[in-house]
Chain A
Amino acid sequence: MPPDFWRRLTGTRTREPSRALTLTAPDRESIDLASYLPARLRKLDTLPERAAPLDAQTRVEVARGMNRGAGVLAGSVLFDSAIEHYRGGFHNPAMFFPLVSSTLSIIASASGVGDNTPSVRRERHVAYAAAAATGFAGLAFHAYNVGKRTGGFSWTNVFYGAPLGAPAALVLSGLLGVAAERVRDAAPGQRPRLYGMPESRAIAAVTSAGLAGTAAEAALLHFRGAFQDPFMYLPVTIPPVTAAMMAAVAVDGRPRKRPVTRFLLRLTAFLGFAGTGFHIIGVHRNMGGWKNWTQNIQNGPPIPAPPSFTGLALAGLSVLKMLERSRRE
């Protein structure tokens, strides 16, 4: 793919790559959350005094990282909903929406990742907002679908009815994408707010909630699979811890280094890809293995689902970068 492919596709301006910033030694990371949280919670909507505004270049970098996360999430949604809605025979035309919307979200994300300028693109913004809206509609539709089945919200129906996690991932892709645009767009020296909160906290909160929700989805489906393989416990142990750490970031919000959180986010990002590998093996363990792919790709574990963790973790790493870069020198 030519290097200027996305630029041409999305019409972004070219700009020299940014110079790498020299990082100072990591700050001590507070883990004494118990005594810390209540005090901080009261000041949720304020940014700690010590934070410095981000320069334009850092903002672009952070935004691109979030575009990447939003794109991976949208990719997961695209392939997952393609398989699941194919399985559902597209009996409702609305079942095409998430495919279109996630595709647009992927294109917007690619555009953002390839865009080294602080300029915001209205098309990206619209695509992301549409993704979030489609995701919310999907959530409602899937909940309705489960509820109307015989037995209502029974275990069997939440196991096998329309999943809530998939449209939620589309919502997250949209929210992170919108946030990416807002981060990119802020005027120099400004401390922008998102969703009624300081931006870094807002994104950390979205990431935390996303990780928790995705882990909950994995927990539900791995419970359905009776945790028959010990590795099935990974996505219900590591991401929840990561989610808790990101919640702490959202509450704390102080500009400093967080090596433990960063490590957990990287581990979670890796887990997303590893999950796909496990699921490929899982499909093979179904009757007929990959030779019977026409069935097993639909009935086996969902191959495109785990990278949702990766997408969220990438967004989380961007938040950390934001907070690190806004430390006062």
Chain B
Amino acid sequence: MATDDGMTAPRAVSGQAPDVFRRGAWVPMRQYPDSEEVDFVIVGTGAGGGTLACKLAEHGFSVVAMDAGPYWRPLEDFASDEAEQQKLYWRDERIVDGDNPIDMGGNNSGKSVGGSTVHFAMVSLRFRPEWFKARTKLGYAVDWPIDWREMWHYYTEVEQALAISGPVSYPWGPHRPRYPRRPHPMSAAGEFLASSAEKMGIGWSSTPIATLSAPRGLAPPCVYRGFCVIGCSTNAKQSVLNTWLPRALDANAEIRDLAMVSRIEMGSRGLATGVHYYRDGRWRFQKAKNVVVAGYAVETPRLLLNSACAQFPDGLANSSGLVGKNLMPQSNHGVYGLVDQEIRWYKAPPSLSITEHWNYTDTGKDFFGGYAYMSQGPLPTAWAGSLTSSRGLWGEKLVREMEKYNHQVGLKIVGEVLPQEKNQVTLTDEKDAYGIPIPRITFSYGENDKRLYEHAVRFMSQQMEVGGARDLFVESDTAHLGGTAKMGDDPRTSVVNADCRSWDIPNLWVCDGSVFPTVGGVNPSLTIQAIACRTGDRIAEMARRGELTRRTTPA
């Protein structure tokens, strides 16, 4: 028998999908033939696509969700090893340019069923309510077409679905229901942020985080092994892979792993008819009444642009010209330093403590937007990467600095970057292994973005110093992506509406971080999932009212 490593051949075949909770085990899976016109084909199974697949299937629609990546069983497939776990990342070639080219790869994209939630840092934060009306209430960027109170409802749904472990009461923002699980014990790395924040006179909190602090079904609580961002081998991490997708399978959704979608096919009536995809050695075509693109901020515009046809020569859903535009990473600048204590930051989830002080304080800022920052705990090769890229160290100097690994502490922001049309994803002439054009990702910080991260670096450096850290250095980095298929109320200035439905093609939807009009100063995964939950409910409502283009009656 051939090796079943998940990467060589698809696993979700023959009416079964891998059981993520048991080694070598399977769960039954409904399958649909390519020729059957399913209600929804979803491209991507991450925070957007995976969550929506679950919601739509639970509403009774027939759903096929495809992912280019493997279908892992974490218990048997995940090593405690940075090099080996590179297999979770999207490592297909991309070209990066602009004044501040974005590091891709492991940083901000996943190639796995479950998407990048399989290796995300699990930080699960709600937006500040005012950000949904950033233009009206705070005077910058644009408003979202969704009211924060509606989002508050869907945030709760996601927090329950992921059994978020969080503080008994969260110190910022309006009331939210209690997190389903209690906070984790504080690590030395997290404690550094907490105690130094108190010295600075600002608030801090245990981070609401998607890893269990008490058992849940077959998932054990976190063992504080600290390899979160290269994949959790215990299932304590509540990713899309082990939360939404098992529910989706139960509700008769089909998940297709190792399925790379190249193009959305358009029919004569201006509606999408299905997707072309490559799986198990050949090209296929899945017919569908609705197509949902959920490939995140690079693959989503890439697919829409690559699906250009005679009727839509500039790519699908692109009458506004905004597909691929307004790409927003988040600034992810960090300050690192040395302390006498043994911190051993390789232990426990790295970001166990957080301050959202500068998300909720508007005075004393010379910039729009906000940022949160969290404690850090890079693994050895990631830390070597910081020392080489930020300080250019090599030779004896590098080796000596690396030896101080167990005494390092750090703070890193998730900072808001404002939308600019010149920051964008386009297609190059170079083709990948599937023959699909490789994307070019262009990014340059704007003036406001620079003022924001400079403020953050100044403030965090001060905090590091009062906290007793020395030999400080600054790292410039980015994290997360958004904005390349933004939602809005006006077809001229947005790609999709509040329901993630494209303005141009009524049976084409986009459901992932690309729909964000602004990214705020928090990690996006909770918001992406909340939007997916909302979209699922809205689609079910529209179907009931007969507002979908094709008759899709929930079973």
Are B215 and A295 in contact (CB-based, < 8 A)? Answer: no
Are B215 and A228 in contact (CB-based, < 8 A)? Answer: yes
Residues of A close to B501: CB separation below 8 A: none
A223 sits at the interface (CB 8 A) = yes
Given the known interface contacts A150-B194, A286-B220, the answer about A155 and B182 at a Cβ–Cβ threshold of 8 Å is yes
Are B223 and A295 in contact (CB-based, < 8 A)? Answer: yes
Which residue of A is nearest B169, CB measured? Answer: A155
Contact of A287 among B181, B182, B223 (CB under 8 A): B223
A285 sits at the interface (CB 8 A) = yes
Are B195 and A286 in contact (CB-based, < 8 A)? Answer: no
Are A225 and B223 in contact (CB-based, < 8 A)? Answer: no
Contact of A151 among B194, B215, B220, B236 (CB under 8 A): B194
B124 sits at the interface (CB 8 A) = no
- Give the segment of B183-191, B310-318, B428-436 that binds chain A: B183-191
Residues of B close to A299: CB separation below 8 A: 221, 223
Q: What's the Cα separation between A80 and B180 when bound, in Å?
A: 28
Are B181 and A156 in contact (CB-based, < 8 A)? Answer: no
Interface residues of A in 219-233 (CB under 8 A from B): 223-226, 228-229
A136 sits at the interface (CB 8 A) = no
A159 sits at the interface (CB 8 A) = yes
Residues of B close to A156: CB separation below 8 A: 167, 183, 185-186, 206
Residues of A close to B206: CB separation below 8 A: 156
A219 → chain B closest CB, angstroms: 13
Are A285 and B194 in contact (CB-based, < 8 A)? Answer: no
**CB-defined interface of B60-90 with A at 8 Å, one 1/0 digit per residue?**
0000000000000000000000000000000
Are B182 and A223 in contact (CB-based, < 8 A)? Answer: yes
Which residue of B is nearest A223, CB measured? Answer: B182
Are B194 and A224 in contact (CB-based, < 8 A)? Answer: no
Interface residues of B in 206-251 (CB under 8 A from A): 206, 213-216, 220-221, 223, 234, 236
**CB-defined interface of B253-275 with A at 8 Å, one 1/0 digit per residue?**
00000000000000000000000
Are A224 and B191 in contact (CB-based, < 8 A)? Answer: no
Residues of B close to A159: CB separation below 8 A: 182-183, 185
**CB-defined interface of A288-318 with B at 8 Å, one 1/0 digit per residue?**
1000100100010000000000000000000
Size of the A side of the interface (Cβ < 8 Å), in residues, is: 20
Are B220 and A285 in contact (CB-based, < 8 A)? Answer: yes
B454 sits at the interface (CB 8 A) = no
Q: What's the Cα separation between A156 and B198 when bound, in Å?
A: 16
B214 → chain A closest CB, angstroms: 4
Interface residues of A in 224-246 (CB under 8 A from B): 224-226, 228-229
Q: What's the Cα separation between A282 and B191 when bound, in Å?
A: 28
Residues of A close to B234: CB separation below 8 A: 287
Residues of A close to B220: CB separation below 8 A: 285-287
A277 → chain B closest CB, angstroms: 16
Are A224 and B223 in contact (CB-based, < 8 A)? Answer: no
B74 → chain A closest CB, angstroms: 11
Q: What's the Cα separation between A150 and B213 when bound, in Å?
A: 20
B233 → chain A closest CB, angstroms: 9
Q: What's the Cα separation between A286 and B206 when bound, in Å?
A: 22
Which residue of B is nearest A285, CB measured? Answer: B215
Contact of B195 among A150, A155, A160, A226 (CB under 8 A): A150
Are A150 and B198 in contact (CB-based, < 8 A)? Answer: yes
Are A155 and B167 in contact (CB-based, < 8 A)? Answer: yes
Contact of B180 among A226, A288, A292, A295 (CB under 8 A): A226
Which residue of A is nearest B196, CB measured? Answer: A150
B168 sits at the interface (CB 8 A) = yes
Number of A-B residue pairs having CB atoms within 8 Å of each other in the complex:
54
Are A226 and B213 in contact (CB-based, < 8 A)? Answer: yes
Which residue of B is nearest A157, CB measured? Answer: B186
Interface residues of B in 119-142 (CB under 8 A from A): none
Are A155 and B183 in contact (CB-based, < 8 A)? Answer: yes
Residues of B close to A155: CB separation below 8 A: 167-168, 182-183
B514 → chain A closest CB, angstroms: 34
Q: What's the Cα separation between A223 and B214 when bound, in Å?
A: 10
Q: What's the Cα separation between A52 and B174 when bound, in Å?
A: 64
B344 → chain A closest CB, angstroms: 14
Are A160 and B186 in contact (CB-based, < 8 A)? Answer: yes
Q: What's the Cα separation between A182 and B215 when bound, in Å?
A: 46
Are A228 and B185 in contact (CB-based, < 8 A)? Answer: no
B363 → chain A closest CB, angstroms: 25
Q: What's the Cα separation between A273 and B240 when bound, in Å?
A: 39
Contact of B182 among A150, A224, A288, A295 (CB under 8 A): A224
Q: What's the Cα separation between A279 and B8 when bound, in Å?
A: 42
B348 → chain A closest CB, angstroms: 12
Are A225 and B182 in contact (CB-based, < 8 A)? Answer: yes
Residues of B close to A226: CB separation below 8 A: 180-182, 213-214
Interface residues of A in 118-142 (CB under 8 A from B): none
Given the known interface contacts A150-B195, A228-B216, the answer about A286 and B221 at a Cβ–Cβ threshold of 8 Å is yes
Residues of A close to B168: CB separation below 8 A: 155
Residues of A close to B180: CB separation below 8 A: 226
Are A228 and B167 in contact (CB-based, < 8 A)? Answer: no
Residues of A close to B236: CB separation below 8 A: 287
Q: What's the Cα separation between A125 and B214 when bound, in Å?
A: 42
Q: What's the Cα separation between A156 and B167 when bound, in Å?
A: 8
Are B215 and A286 in contact (CB-based, < 8 A)? Answer: yes
Residues of A close to B167: CB separation below 8 A: 155-156
Residues of A close to B213: CB separation below 8 A: 224-226
Interface residues of B in 409-454 (CB under 8 A from A): none
Residues of A close to B221: CB separation below 8 A: 286-287, 299
Residues of A close to B186: CB separation below 8 A: 150, 156, 160
Residues of A close to B183: CB separation below 8 A: 155-156, 159
Residues of B close to A223: CB separation below 8 A: 182
Are A228 and B194 in contact (CB-based, < 8 A)? Answer: no
Q: What's the Cα separation between A156 and B234 when bound, in Å?
A: 24
Q: What's the Cα separation between A31 and B183 when bound, in Å?
A: 41
Q: What's the Cα separation between A148 and B198 when bound, in Å?
A: 13
Q: What's the Cα separation between A295 and B234 when bound, in Å?
A: 14
B419 → chain A closest CB, angstroms: 37
Which residue of A is nearest B183, CB measured? Answer: A156
A158 → chain B closest CB, angstroms: 10
Residues of A close to B216: CB separation below 8 A: 228
Residues of chain B having any CB pair with chain A under 8 Å = 167-168, 180-183, 185-186, 191, 194-195, 198, 206, 213-216, 220-221, 223, 234, 236
List 19 A-B pairs, Cβ < 8 Å: A150-B195, A151-B194, A156-B167, A156-B186, A159-B183, A160-B185, A224-B214, A225-B213, A226-B180, A228-B181, A228-B214, A228-B215, A285-B220, A286-B215, A287-B220, A287-B221, A287-B223, A287-B236, A292-B223
List 10 A-B pairs, minimum CB-CB distance, nearest first. A160-B185, A287-B220, A225-B214, A155-B168, A287-B234, A228-B214, A150-B195, A285-B215, A150-B194, A287-B223
Q: A150-B195, A155-B167 are in contact. List 20 more A-B contacts (CB 8 A).
A: A151-B194, A155-B182, A156-B167, A156-B183, A159-B183, A160-B186, A224-B213, A224-B214, A225-B213, A226-B180, A226-B182, A282-B215, A285-B220, A286-B215, A286-B220, A287-B221, A287-B234, A287-B236, A292-B223, A299-B221
